Structure 1
Amino acid sequence: MAAITEQRKSNDKRLRDALKVARRKHEEPGSLKSQVEVSQVPNPYHNPAHRVSRSNPLKVSALVNIKESAVGTLYARGHINDAQWAAAGRFRMLWERSGAKGAIAIDYSRVQVDGGKAIDPLPDLVVEATHHLNNCLPVLGKRTFDIMIKVVGQGMEIADIAKTQRQKTTFSDYIKDGLQELAVHWGYKTR
């Protein structure tokens, strides 16, 4: 009788462990990972030619998925200001434009037609974005630049690159300080 009870307990424990793993796997994808909150965002319809008023506000309330990125979470919770948020958006745009997110392959099997223009290997936007990113390196420093690429550019979470709570706090401080430096560098904020 005791052997049967022990076997049931071990089977129950295995089942509970399997359910925990299944829940963890199920929490990761898409919309199950979202957390929507009301946040103040820049008004896309704001007209700077007119005074700020109720009909022409600088900011409006909007629903924002704060888990879309680690920087979005920092902004929605008030840990970074508008200038840092703008710097993060610009850094991410430059990262995506630079082609670091993936390269376009050339199809060598296609027949080249006479009179057709040759394929430009690097468009001007890619070269310009890469140049702007390279100008950020001396402003940020190597370590902060690497963290900014992972978190702001690639969209990784701080928990993915940090092992301990101390590292998470340190990396978030690096990101805040780096965004502050970029905001000053790009003129979103003065010292």
Structure 2
Amino acid sequence: MAKAATKRKPEFVSQHIEIGMANIENPNWSRDHDGVKTNVRYVQQPINIRESAITTLAAKGVIDEAQTAAADRFRALWERMGGAGAGALDYSREPVDGGGISEPITVRQLEAGFELRSARDALLKAHGEYAYRLVGYIAGQGMSIHELTETRRQRDTMTDNLRSYLDVLAILWKFSTR
């Protein structure tokens, strides 16, 4: 007796990928040709909704554009600060002619650190230490709200808190004037 054929998922589909459409500003848009059908200001672009908790919340309409921009800036600063770029000086290495001295911390990392400190100060003043930690967990480290909570009520409360914390950052970085 022959076995029934089963449908196979394509290999590129993953449980961590969900494609959605996002409106982004057209990089080729020009004010001179505004109103022309071939020169639209916003275009649709496919994105992975499950890339981070921030993109998921933005795709579902839970956070607005200013909050998303503040979270994206926080994430960029967080990534600029950490990991591979910072390291200790290795005094045992022989200097090579023509080679520069490797800096353990770059100027860009210092600037990111100063901006993150101002973000921490603003969040601390408005909401306390927990605010910076939550934004760091979700926007910086990329953790999901489901990883940090157990019940639906906790998720809803954490989402509301995150929205108010991102409002503080959006005002600080002039993405919003609420």
- The bucket for the TM-score relative to the shorter chain is 0.7 to 0.9
Q: CA RMSD in A?
A: 2.3
TM-score normalized by the length of structure 1: 0.74
1:148 maps to which residue?
135
Higher percent of residues as helix:
1
Amino acid in structure 2 at the alignment position of 1:126 = Q
Report the alpha carbon displacement of residue 144 of structure 1 after superposing the two structures with TM: 1.2
The higher radius of gyration belongs to: 1
1:21 maps to which residue?
none
1:50 and 1:187, CA in 2 relative to 1: closer, same or farther beyond 3 A? farther
* Cα distance in 2, alignment partners of residues 111 and 77 from structure 1: 54
1:77 and 1:98, CA in 2 relative to 1: closer, same or farther beyond 3 A? same
Report the alpha carbon displacement of residue 116 of structure 1 after superposing the two structures with TM: 3.8
1:76 equivalent among 59, 69, 84: 59
1:77 and 1:124, CA in 2 relative to 1: closer, same or farther beyond 3 A? same
Say if 2:153 is the partner of 1:166: yes
- Comparing 177-186 with 148-157, greater Cα deviation is found at 177-186
Report the alpha carbon displacement of residue 80 of structure 1 after superposing the two structures with TM: 1.4
2:42 maps to which residue?
59
1:184 and 1:165, CA in 2 relative to 1: closer, same or farther beyond 3 A? same
Report the alpha carbon displacement of residue 94 of structure 1 after superposing the two structures with TM: 0.7
Report the alpha carbon displacement of residue 187 of structure 1 after superposing the two structures with TM: 1.0
1:35 maps to which residue?
18
Amino acid in structure 1 at the alignment position of 2:149 = A
The SS at the match of 1:31 is coil
**Unpaired runs of 5+ in structure 1?**
1-29
* Cα distance in 1, alignment partners of residues 131 and 22 from structure 2: 27
Identity of aligned residues (%): 35
Say if 2:169 is the partner of 1:186: no
1:5 maps to which residue?
none
The SS at the match of 1:180 is helix
TM-score normalized by the length of structure 2: 0.79
Amino acid in structure 2 at the alignment position of 1:169 = D
Q: After TM superposition, which residue ranges in structure 1, 4 or more long, deviate above 6 angstroms?
A: none
**Unpaired runs of 5+ in structure 2?**
1-12
1:86 and 1:31, CA in 2 relative to 1: closer, same or farther beyond 3 A? same
Aligned pairs, number: 161
* Cα distance in 2, alignment partners of residues 87 and 49 from structure 1: 30
2:75 maps to which residue?
92
- Comparing 63-72 with 78-87, greater Cα deviation is found at 78-87
Report the alpha carbon displacement of residue 31 of structure 1 after superposing the two structures with TM: 3.2
Report the alpha carbon displacement of residue 48 of structure 1 after superposing the two structures with TM: 5.1
- Comparing 35-44 with 179-188, greater Cα deviation is found at 35-44
2:144 equivalent among 137, 146, 157: 157
Say if 2:122 is the partner of 1:139: yes
* Cα distance in 2, alignment partners of residues 50 and 112 from structure 1: 56
